[in-house]
């Protein structure tokens, strides 16, 4: 068998599509809104530490970490939204899209402020998403 015929045979064997079905990217159990909540708790903690400090260098560092954590909140929410939730969930929970949009916008707002009320709002929005998430896991 020539090299070309071997390559052709290999390509033929791997080019045949295999139909598979799964609820999400991997077997369930890899997604959890707790990841977003943990980062949101870090955002709030950075805000609290910023607000109680007089040290300029410390405040710069707290702001930097808060902004990183806010981006991670958005990342974890987007992963849940795009990889876990499916159209069937929207049928059952028609406000789900708006909830994710609002929570990711609040995470962005948290980057621009040290207002703890914003962090509390973000935590509340994540908790509402988590409630739906766990209802879909039953």
CB-CB contact of 76 with 36 (8 Å): yes
The enclosing domain of 76 has a CATH number of 1.20.120.400
CA–CA gap between residue 64 and residue 25 (Å, rounded): 32
Number of domains in the chain: 1
For residue 42, the enclosing domain spans 30-136
- Is there a domain that residue 92 lies in? yes
What's the pLDDT score for residue 12?
72
- Is there a domain that residue 85 lies in? yes
CA–CA gap between residue 69 and residue 41 (Å, rounded): 9
What's the pLDDT score for residue 28?
58
- Is there a domain that residue 21 lies in? no
What's the pLDDT score for residue 19?
63
pTM of the complete model = 0.80
């Amino acid at each position: 068998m020539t090299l070309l015929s071997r390559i052709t045979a290999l390509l033929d064997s791997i080019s045949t599509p295999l139909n598979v079905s799964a609820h999400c990217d991997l077997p369930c159990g890899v997604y959890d809104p707790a990841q977003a909540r943990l980062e949101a708790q870090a955002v709030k903690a950075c805000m609290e530490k910023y607000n109680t400090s007089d040290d300029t260098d410390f405040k710069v560092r707290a702001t930097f970490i808060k902004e990183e954590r806010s981006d991670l909140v958005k990342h974890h929410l987007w992963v849940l939204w795009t990889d876990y939730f499916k159209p069937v969930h929207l049928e059952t929970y028609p406000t789900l899209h708006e909830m994710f949009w609002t929570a990711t916008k609040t995470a962005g707002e948290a980057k621009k402020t040290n207002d703890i009320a914003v962090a509390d709002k973000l935590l509340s929005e994540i908790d509402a998403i988590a409630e739906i998430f766990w209802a879909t896991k039953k």
